[in-house]
Structure 1
Amino acid sequence: MRYIIVGAGAVGGAIGGRLAESGHDVVLVARGAQYEALRTGGLRLVTPDGPRTHRLPVVDRPEALDLTADDVLVLAVKTQDTAAALDAWSVRPVEGGSTAGERLPLVCAQNGVESERLALRRFRQVYGMCVWLPATFVEPGEVSAAGTPLTGILHLGRYPTGTDGTARLIAADLEKSKLLAPVVPDVMRWKYGKLLANLANAIEAVTGPLAEQDALALFERALAEGQAVLAAAGIDPVGQEEQAEARAGRIRFEPFDGSPHGGGSSWQSLSRGTGTIEADFLNGEIVLLGHLHGVPTPVNDVLRHTANTFAREGREPGSMAVADLVALVDAGIS
């Protein structure tokens, strides 16, 4: 199989680079400065076992690539960019007839739970992937990933439920590439569990790493809302103990000397000045479900709004004091 990595940023670059290292055909899809850097200098993937530069095929649009029946599309863009990517790729012709949406598998390697819903409107074969792969977009053309001996753990399954031979083939390729990929019949349970953890992303993005007790307490408040909402919706996410057991002894992190702190995905969006952030699909997912099921979610609503304001106004990540964010939350509740 050939892997088309749609969104060759931190996660997409790490997955694509590791697949390439183990001999798999990989095409990277990127835009702007990232596309130019990948095209001219290749992908530099920095891991604890050393840096490697992969000179891989790279395109900046679907029209620049001829698709075959053996291709797998791996969607690794932020959720706010999902709809545009799906629109562009789903209609592309595949060698032998028909379109990508009708013939090719699509793997959603993203945070949140919205992309799979969007994808199933356009693709017949949709797979969810719960991504636990801490990686940083260092600069155009360079990605770092500090996990060792595994680079990441990627639970994989058919959407909305089930497994199949394609999932098992993809998982086998990933597991030859320093990426553990358990195939599970209930992948969205894993993604909802990750969603709860990602409720901290907005706090980190606007105030910095969750080191202060007040920041941790604020996350606990957001988490309590999330758990209440999922219970009201009848959703049973994977718990923290099950997640910890899945990772135990399989991966550890070795920092890179001199490398900058990249923060989580939302922090990185602010630091790169993209103008958008995924808060609508993390904290905002909890707010949406709260509205649908009659559960108040004032903490997550303020976190969503504040993170969006930071992105829209181009504010620096970590530039708000934790006390000020807590005050905004308390004002929104009163």
Structure 2
Amino acid sequence: MRYIIIGAGAVGGAIGGRLAEAGHEVALVARGAHYEALRTHGLRLMTSEGTRTHRLPTVDGPAALGELRADDVLVLAVKTQDSEAALEAWGPAPVAGGGRAAERLPLVCAQNGVESPRIALRRFRRVYGVCVWLPATLVEPGAVSAAGAPLTGFLHLGRHPHGTDETARRIAADLGKAHFEAPVVPDVARWQYAKLLGNLANAIEAVTGVLTSEEGLALYARVRAEGEAVLTAADIPYTGEEEQKRVRDDKIRFEPFDGSERGGGSSWQSLDRGTGTIEADYLNGEIVLLGRLHGVPTPLNELLQRLANTFARERRAAGSLPVAELVRLADEAVAFVQEERAPRP
């Protein structure tokens, strides 16, 4: 199988680079300065084993690859807000032997949140969800750091909305030879919703910096509790923290190469690079949406969604809001909702 990594940034670059190291055919899809760097200098992948440069076919869209192959696997690794455009571009791509990519090829959504597989299923017949546990950073155009060890990442994989098949097992076997563990599960959404609860911290981290203070961690606990209440009201199952720890055990740890502390996650990186967009609508915004559908107030997640989008739109510096100020805003948001819902005399 050939893996076409649509969005060869932090996660996509780490997956693509590791698959290439394991001897698999890989093509990278990127844009802008990252695309130019990959084409000119190759993908520089930094792991605990050292730095390797992979000179892989790199394109900015399907036309440059020509007719796709029947054994191609499309790995969607763009941010969710960019999924629609990517799917629109790749769905109609012709496949050798007839038909289009949307009808004939498997699409693997290696992304945060739960929305992209739903978007993809409107266009592609065979969609696979992935719960991505992969500490990775786009260091600069052409360079990706993947600091997980001894495994590079943990990637639960399954058909969307549920089930497994031989394609999932073959993909998982390839990932297993490439420094990942990829359990094939019939209920991948259960793992994705659990990851979503963890990703509710992304917006806090993006606007205030890496979560280390007691104040910040206490705020995240409140935000997560709001998310758990929503998932319970919506009757959506998710993997518990104990089960997650038991499965991952000590198989993946963050081990920075220079002894530094962990840097910011994907949302922080979006602000730091000044992309102008952020995935909060599909993380905190997913909880807000479900809360509105099921009558559960979500003032904390609404606040974080709004703040993260404002920071991205106005290109404010990542981590520039003091934690104490965010906590004050959170308390005000909760108080306002409580006052609104209080019985009137």
Q: Under a length normalisation based on structure 2, what TM-score does the superposition of the two structures give? A: 0.95
Aligned twin of 1:273: 274
Cα contact 1:276–1:312 (8 A) shared by 2:
yes
Cα contact 1:138–1:262 (8 A) shared by 2:
no
Aligned twin of 1:116: 117
Pairing 1:89-100 to 2, within 5 Å after superposition: 89-100=90-101
Deviation at 1:332, TM superposition (A): 2.1
Pairing 1:1-334 to 2, within 5 Å after superposition: 1-66=1-66, 67-257=68-258, 262-333=263-334, 334=336
Q: In 2, distance between residues paired with 1:260 and 1:216?
A: 17
Cα contact 1:283–1:303 (8 A) shared by 2:
yes
SS in 2 for 1:300: helix
- Letter aligned with residue 213 of structure 2: E
Deviation at 1:306, TM superposition (A): 0.4
- Letter aligned with residue 9 of structure 1: G
- Letter aligned with residue 322 of structure 2: A
Deviation at 1:259, TM superposition (A): 6.5
Cα contact 1:299–1:329 (8 A) shared by 2:
yes
Deviation at 1:260, TM superposition (A): 8.3
- Segment drifting more, 248-257 vs 128-137: 248-257
CA distance 1:251–1:261, change in 2 (3 Å): closer
1:231-271: CA deviation from partner (whole Å, max 9, x where unpaired) = 11110101111111111121223212177853100000000
Q: In 2, distance between residues paired with 1:257 and 1:150?
A: 18
Cα contact 1:137–1:262 (8 A) shared by 2:
no
SS in 2 for 1:314: coil
- Letter aligned with residue 158 of structure 1: R
After the TM superposition, list the runs of 4 or more consecutive aligned residues in structure 1 that deviate by more than 4 angstroms. Answer: 258-261
- Letter aligned with residue 164 of structure 1: D
Q: In 2, distance between residues paired with 1:192 and 1:140?
A: 31
Q: In 1, distance between residues paired with 2:40 and 2:243?
A: 43
SS in 2 for 1:131: strand
Q: In 2, distance between residues paired with 1:262 and 1:215?
A: 16
Q: In 2, distance between residues paired with 1:37 and 1:330?
A: 45
- Letter aligned with residue 49 of structure 2: D
- Letter aligned with residue 215 of structure 1: G
Q: In 2, distance between residues paired with 1:259 and 1:57?
A: 33
Q: In 2, distance between residues paired with 1:292 and 1:85?
A: 28
Cα contact 1:130–1:194 (8 A) shared by 2:
yes
Q: In 2, distance between residues paired with 1:63 and 1:280?
A: 31
Deviation at 1:92, TM superposition (A): 0.8
- Letter aligned with residue 80 of structure 2: T
Cα contact 2:107–2:127 (8 A) shared by 1:
yes
Q: What 5-or-longer segments of structure 2 have no aligned partner?
A: 337-345
Deviation at 1:36, TM superposition (A): 0.2
Q: Alignment identity in percent? A: 72
Q: In 2, distance between residues paired with 1:30 and 1:153?
A: 23
Cα contact 1:174–1:181 (8 A) shared by 2:
yes
Q: How many residues align?
A: 334
SS in 2 for 1:230: helix
Q: In 1, distance between residues paired with 2:317 and 2:244?
A: 32
Cα contact 2:135–2:254 (8 A) shared by 1:
no
